[in-house]
């Protein structure tokens, strides 16, 4: 008897335990996740990822005079490690001279040609001027000779005297013309020497400049600081082996770490909310426990497309308040731009919101032991919550999941009258087949589709007085054929 009682008691205990376990599982599966309408401060935030950089920095640049010698790109042969602290005058980088050395050799050849041309011109002008002076001396002797001949012919016949006078006049005129030509030729040779001399000085100055510039391929620090690599067009750091353009010859920068900023990019959908002067909450991936404050200082007016992205973004600069020695350029930041702040407003989680045909926004609201569909008027939203302008009260309990067994229509609110989005009108379906009776009594059927386009017609064999499908005229009921009247027009065809 006692054994039977123990067995019965054990069975009862096992049954009760199984019952409660099943009950608890059923109750656990049936639990709905809910939330409460809260009132408080609501922040509209835009979350972005940025990168630290110094607000002010000294640029370390390659010699920009290389453009004068048709050097457009330079290769960095060697560069100091990023993050190295340098003093003024310390070595930073060495640029590849190979292309420039070729230009120097070409300039040397050009300089030799200019020097040879200068000497050749100098010799030519010297020879010309000597010949001109000899000619003047000979003409003076000729004039003196003609004077002696004329003086000795005073006892000669008048014709001889006249001839000697003419010869003297010719000699004097030839001397005068030679003297004028000498002045012109001398001025001409002077200008010719100036031209070749200017060309020689030009080439000489270019060569001297290239020799001076040859030493500038070893770049040194203009100021003390920490070396930070400059990023190229592909957003990758410029390092040894990279090429830089002589139109933007920046090799690296020396940032001023006393004032830092976060450079971030905002999607084109949210950029309209961002304004200068808005506060920003900044976090660092390197120091998760460190929180910084900042302010928006600049919003780009023109968007851009970042690499490996199809969306258009706008650059936003955020200046960090205060000074922190742990901040370093290129650190990743998480930025929360506070675009708007609302005090004492109702808000609910976004998971509570539902939509009916894209026209009515509602929530599942708990009222006593029942659940109703309550329409609401939405305000601003952020990443987690939404402001409720009408339809709910503080403390209302809402379901974040779809409750089971809820039926009935949505309870509408008068504040949304005239503000709901009207559903698009449905276009009536066109008949798939249409019957057309022609003026001659012929009946045809035209097939169509939902887009309103019709295909080729088919002739109904029961039409009266019509044509058969083979094109022959069908006989009349009395066995005779009705001839076509002369000048009659064929039957019109339907529009397709």
Q: What whole-number distance in Å separates Cα of residue 13 and Cα of residue 370?
A: 36
What pLDDT score does 422 carry?
Answer: 67
Taking each helix axis from N to C terminus, what angle separates 158-214 and 98-152, rounded to the nearest 10 degrees?
Answer: 170
Q: What whole-number distance in Å separates Cα of residue 222 and Cα of residue 13?
A: 88
Per-residue pLDDT tens digits of the chain, which is 496 residues long:
555 666 666 656 556 565 544 444 444 444 578 899 999 999 998 999 999 988 888 888 888 788 888 888 888 989 998 888 889 889 999 988 888 888 889 999 999 999 999 999 999 999 999 999 999 999 999 999 999 988 888 888 889 989 989 999 999 999 999 999 999 999 999 999 999 999 999 999 989 988 888 888 888 899 888 888 888 777 778 888 888 888 888 888 898 888 899 999 999 988 999 999 999 999 999 898 999 999 999 999 998 888 777 788 999 999 999 888 888 888 999 999 999 999 999 999 999 999 887 788 999 998 888 899 999 999 998 888 999 999 999 999 999 888 887 878 888 888 888 777 766 666 655 566 667 777 777 777 766 555 555 555 554 444 444 444 444 444 444 444 444 444 444 433 434 3
What are the phi and psi torsion angles at 447 (to 5°)?
A: -85, 145
- pLDDT tens for 424-464 read 666 655 566 667 777 777 777 766 555 555 555 554 444 44
* Span between the terminal Cα atoms of the chain, in Å: 99
What pLDDT score does 131 carry?
Answer: 92
Q: What whole-number distance in Å separates Cα of residue 106 and Cα of residue 207?
A: 10
Q: Are 413 and 388 in contact (CB under 8 A)?
A: no
What pLDDT score does 188 carry?
Answer: 93
Architecture of the CATH domain 33-56+256-419: Beta Barrel (2.40)
Classify burial at 207, counting beta carbons within 10 Å of its beta carbon; exposed 0-12, middle 13-18, buried 19 or more.
Answer: middle
- pLDDT tens for 283-299 read 999 898 999 999 999 99
What pLDDT score does 358 carry?
Answer: 75
Q: How far is CA 341 from the centre of its chain?
A: 32
271 closest CA partner among 339, 198, 212, 225: 339
- pLDDT tens for 177-226 read 999 999 999 999 999 999 999 999 999 998 998 888 888 888 889 988 88
401 closest CA partner among 378, 367, 379, 371: 371
What pLDDT score does 21 carry?
Answer: 47
Q: 413 by DSSP, 3-state: which?
A: coil
Which DSSP category does 155 fall into? Answer: T
Q: What whole-number distance in Å separates Cα of residue 280 and Cα of residue 316?
A: 11
Q: 238 by DSSP, 3-state: which?
A: coil
Q: What is the pTM of this model?
A: 0.53
């Amino acid at each position: 008897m006692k054994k039977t009682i123990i067995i019965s008691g054990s069975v009862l205990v096992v049954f009760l335990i199984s019952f409660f376990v099943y009950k608890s599982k059923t109750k656990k599966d049936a639990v709905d996740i809910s939330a409460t309408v809260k009132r408080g401060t609501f922040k509209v935030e835009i979350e972005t990822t940025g990168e630290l950089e110094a607000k002010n920095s000294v640029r370390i640049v390659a010699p920009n005079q290389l453009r004068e010698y048709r050097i457009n790109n330079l290769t960095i042969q060697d560069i100091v490690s990023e993050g190295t602290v340098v003093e003024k005058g310390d070595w930073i980088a060495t640029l590849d001279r190979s292309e420039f050395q070729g230009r120097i050799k070409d300039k040397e050849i050009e300089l030799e040609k200019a020097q040879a041309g200068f000497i050749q011109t100098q010799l030519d002008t010297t020879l010309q001027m000597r010949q001109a002076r000899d000619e003047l001396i000979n003409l003076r002797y000729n004039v003196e000779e003609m004077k002696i001949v004329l003086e000795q012919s005073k006892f000669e016949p008048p014709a001889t005297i006249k001839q000697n006078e003419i010869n003297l006049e010719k000699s004097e005129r030839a001397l005068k013309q030679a003297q004028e030509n000498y002045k012109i030729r001398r001025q001409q040779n002077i200008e010719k020497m100036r031209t070749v001399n200017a060309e020689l000085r030009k080439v000489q100055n270019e060569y001297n400049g290239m020799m001076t510039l040859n030493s500038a391929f070893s770049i040194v620090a203009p100021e003390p600081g920490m070396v930070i690599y400059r990023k190229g067009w592909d957003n990758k750091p410029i390092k040894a082996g990279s090429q830089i353009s002589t139109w933007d010859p920046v090799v690296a920068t020396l940032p001023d770490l006393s004032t830092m900023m976060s450079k971030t990019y905002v999607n084109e959908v949210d950029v309209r909310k961002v304004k200068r002067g808005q506060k920003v909450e900044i976090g660092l991936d390197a120091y998760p426990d460190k929180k910084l404050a900042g302010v928006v200082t600049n919003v780009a007016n023109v968007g851009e497309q970042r690499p490996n992205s199809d969306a258009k973004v706008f650059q936003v600069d955020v200046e960090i308040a205060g000074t922190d020695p742990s901040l370093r350029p290129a650190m990743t930041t998480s930025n929360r731009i506070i675009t708007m702040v609302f005090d004492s407003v109702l808000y609910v989680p976004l998971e509570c919101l539902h939509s009916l045909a894209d026209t009515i926004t509602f929530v599942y609201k708990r009222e006593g032991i029942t659940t109703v569909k309550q329409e609401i008027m939405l305000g601003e939203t952020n990443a987690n919550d939404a402001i409720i302008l009408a339809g709910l009260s503080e403390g209302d309990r809402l379901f974040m999941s779809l409750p089971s067994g809820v039926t009935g229509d949505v309870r509408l609110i008068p504040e949304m009258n005239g503000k709901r989005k009207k559903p698009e009108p449905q276009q009536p379906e066109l008949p798939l087949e249409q019957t057309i009776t022609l003026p001659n009594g012929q009946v045809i059927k035209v097939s169509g589709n939902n887009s309103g386009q019709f295909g080729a017609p088919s002739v109904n064999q029961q039409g009266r007085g019509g044509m058969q499908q083979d094109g022959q005229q069908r006989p009349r009921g009395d066995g005779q054929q009705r001839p076509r009247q002369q000048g009659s027009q064929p039957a019109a065809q339907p529009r397709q």
